Structure formats: C-alpha cells, structure tokens
Amino acid sequence: MPNQFAEAWRHCVPGMEICTRPRPARWLLGALGLTFAGAGTAYLLLVGDRLRAGDPGGMFGGGGMAALGGALLGGMVGLLGGDRRGDRDRLRPSTFALDYGTGGSPRLGERHPGELAFRFAPNYFFPDGGGRLRLFGHVGGLLGRETDVDPRPQNSEPLPGQEGTHPVVLSENQLSIGAGADLAVALPYPILRRSAHLGAAELRWRPEVQVRRQTYDDRVIERTMLLPLTVGVRWYLSPRQRFTAYVGPRLDFTSQATGGEPLDRGAPNIGSLYGEFWYDIDVPMLVKPNAAARINGMLTLGYVHSRFDGNGINIARAYGFLGPAYGGWHMRIRPRESPVAVQLGFGAWVGSGVTAVFSAGAVLPDLGGRRR
C-alpha cells in the first residue's frame, strides 16, 4: 500500500529520466508564494507612500500572489488528471503573431481606439537538447489617435468639433517597439539529492529593450526601458505545469522634442526593479494519432512588476507600486503531419482597467537540434 500511494503521487516524463511529485512541489511553491505575498503586501500597506516605486516589496507581493494563485489553480487541474504526461507539441510563443488589445471605456467626446502589435519569436534549440535561444520582439501601437477629456462639466453646450461639453486635455498617437533574446539552459536533474522528484529547472537570461514614442500636437516624448541583466528560472512542477520568474535591474531613458526639433536625449536613470512571474498549465484537448488535427491548450496566469505602460494594481495606500496581472487561454491547432500550426489566444490584463487581448499566429518548425 505505501508503494502504491507513492506511485500515485509520482509522474514521469516519457523518454526522460525525470519523475516529479507535483503535489509536494505545488505545496512548496504555494507556501513560498504565500510567504512572499504576505510579507510584501504588509510592508507596502504599513509603509505606504514613504516607499519608492522601485521598492522590492511590491514585486514580492505581486510575484507571491502569482505563485500562490498558480499553485492553487494547478492543484485543482491536477485533481482532474492534469498531472499526467504532457503532449510533445506543447504551446510556446507563436513564431509570428498579431495581437489586438481593446481600448478603455471612453466618456462622451473621448476616443480609445485599441492597440495592434505584430510579434515574432523564432526558436533555436541546441543540438544536445540542453537549452534553446529565442529571439523575440514586437512592433505596434494605437490604431488611431487617442483623446481624453476633462471629466468636470465646464460647458453647457457641445464644444466646436466635439461631441460633448468636456474639453479635450490629451490627444496622442503611440508607437511601441521591443526586442530581446531569451536564453534557457537546463540544469542537471536532480541538482541536490533532497530536490529529487520536486521537478526539473532551467536557468534563463533575457536581455531586452522596449521603446514607447508618444506624439502630441506639437511635442514628441520617447521613453526607453533597457533590461540588460534580467535573469530567471523555470520550475517544472509536473509534466504539464511550470512556474517561471524573471528579475533584473532596469534603466530608463526619456527624450523629448518640441516643434519638429530633434529629440533631446537625456541621461539614463535607474528605474524600478523589473520582474515577471508566470504559471502555465498545459491542457491537451485532441492528441489522438489518427485525428485530423492535433489540438493543445494552455492556461496562463501572470504578473509583471512594471508600470512602463501606465497600468497597475492599486491597493489602499500602496498606490503606484504594483504592476498589472494577466490571465488567458491559448490554443494550438496543428493539422495532421503538418509542420505548421495555428495558434489562437485570448486573455485580459488587469491593472488601472481591464484590457482584453486577442491573438492569432503561426507556429513554424523550430531551428537547431531536438527539444528537451
């Protein structure tokens, strides 16, 4: 009986000498997440605005909640059989994709057109199967000019050229550009004897740069975020579930120009500490060998510790210290024996408001050697 009980807790990856006990691994992740979330949130609420926006308390609070929420959701999915073997064609970022994000709810006289971005993320796997290199980036921006109005009713009649009585206080176009590389190297498993059956791990290094250019009537402001030393770790808690964390310093550059003059580029400033936390759960839907198509899904929960785009969660006195959270569902459809797959997804960013995101992309064959 004890052996049968132990085997029920253990799940192995086919073709590899890796066996994981997902329940103890999720209990450990949940306990760590609860500890960091409680300590970080309490610190923010007690100290409040006396902290700087880059204080790590906000990152510990948001990242801990992502870990705890992922462990709880992963536990529920695991009880439904979600800890069994995963499919070899699991989801990764699309090689090429288009993302559309909805705009906010405007008042009368405002316009929030939403955003469209073209993304790319080809993969190169090392010949020995011990890691991979991904180049990623995006180009996009607002689908038109965004306008905001003063909500205070200052006029009794509609203003000339406007629908409402509120004067326009902000009108802008925005261009968004980003590029980076993600290097992942698998660690030997198990690293330590005591870590056996708690899941394999990867070390990651992800340098990245993001640029936002906002154009107003007679003024241009360009903001650049440079992330040269972002490092991370991915923890495979089960064949279908994994937790990924990235942390690193941030440099901000702000440039501006007025009246068509060249941009006056300022000196770099040390920005707030950057962090990302993701919990992914694979959900195979149709993986029969003789089926017309192979269909796999993925649930994703995440938190990004950055307010580079102005979005973030505010709790009581902790205003401006937490970034946005994400929840979404993605699905890959691969026709039988086809080297190309279609990947669809939808989700929502929750911060100052709620932004729904829809994506559609193509998955081309990976370059290099075999996957690990």
Q: In this model, does residue 176 exceed pLDDT 50? A: yes
Convert the pLDDT of each residue in 123-157 to its tens digit: 998 887 678 999 999 999 888 777 776 666 665 55
pLDDT tier, 12 (very low <50, low <70, confident <90, very high otherwise)? low
List the alpha helices (DSSP H) in 288-350: none
Domain of 98, CATH number, reads: 2.40.128
Residue with more model confidence, 161 or 313: 313
Convert the pLDDT of each residue in 34-90 to its tens digit: 999 888 878 777 765 555 545 678 888 889 999 999 999 998 988 887 777 778 888
Q: In this model, does residue 3 exceed pLDDT 50? A: no
Note the pLDDT of residue 182: 96
pLDDT tier, 192 (very low <50, low <70, confident <90, very high otherwise)? low
Note the pLDDT of residue 6: 46
In angstroms, the CA 103 to CA 105 distance is 7
Q: Is 32 buried (19+), middle (13-18) or exposed (0-12) by CB count in 10 A?
A: middle
24: enclosing H helix or E strand: helix 22-47
Q: In this predicted structure, which of 166-175, 292-301, 307-316 has the lowest mean pLDDT?
A: 166-175
| Matching residue, tokens 């700087």 | 52
User: Is residue 126 helix, strand or coil?
Assistant: coil
Q: In this model, does residue 243 exceed pLDDT 90? A: yes
Structure tokens at 209: 């740069």
How many helices and strands, by DSSP H and E, does the chain display? 3, 22
Residue with more model confidence, 349 or 41: 349
- Conformational region of residue 83, where left means phi above 0, alpha means psi within -120 to 50, and beta covers everything else: alpha
Spell 35-53 as b/e; 16+ CB within 10 A means b. ebbeebbebbeeeeeebee
Note the pLDDT of residue 10: 62
In angstroms, the CA 275 to CA 280 distance is 17
In angstroms, the CA 66 to CA 88 distance is 26
In angstroms, the CA 292 to CA 314 distance is 47
Q: Mind giving me the DSSP string for 337-360?
A: T-S-EEEEEEEEEESSSEEEEEEE
Convert the pLDDT of each residue in 193-227 to its tens digit: 666 678 888 999 999 999 998 887 778 888 899 99
Closest to 303 in 3D by CA, of 92, 93, 70: 70
Spell 111-149 as b/e; 16+ CB within 10 A means b. bbbbbebebbbbbebbeeeebbbbebbbebbbeeebbbb
Structure tokens at 270: 């040390």
> Mean pLDDT across the stretch 306-326?
81
pLDDT tier, 342 (very low <50, low <70, confident <90, very high otherwise)? very high
Convert the pLDDT of each residue in 259-304 to its tens digit: 777 777 777 788 788 999 999 999 988 888 788 888 999 999 999 9
Residue with more model confidence, 54 or 309: 309
Residue with more model confidence, 336 or 358: 358
Structure tokens at 298: 């993925």
Signed CA dihedral, 232, 235, 236, 242: sign only:
negative
Note the pLDDT of residue 2: 43
Q: What is the span of the domain harbouring residue 261? A: 2-368
Query: What's the Cα-to-Cα distance from 98 to each of 106, 138, 303, rounded to whole Å?
Result: 24, 9, 22
Mean pLDDT of the chain: 82
pLDDT tier, 166 (very low <50, low <70, confident <90, very high otherwise)? low
Percent of the chain having pLDDT more than 90? Answer: 38
| Matching residue, tokens 């010949």 | 127
Residue with more model confidence, 11 or 258: 258
User: Is residue 266 helix, strand or coil?
Assistant: coil
DSSP annotation of 49: G
Number of domains in the chain: 1
Note the pLDDT of residue 191: 66
Note the pLDDT of residue 86: 77
Note the pLDDT of residue 4: 44
Q: Is 15 buried (19+), middle (13-18) or exposed (0-12) by CB count in 10 A?
A: exposed
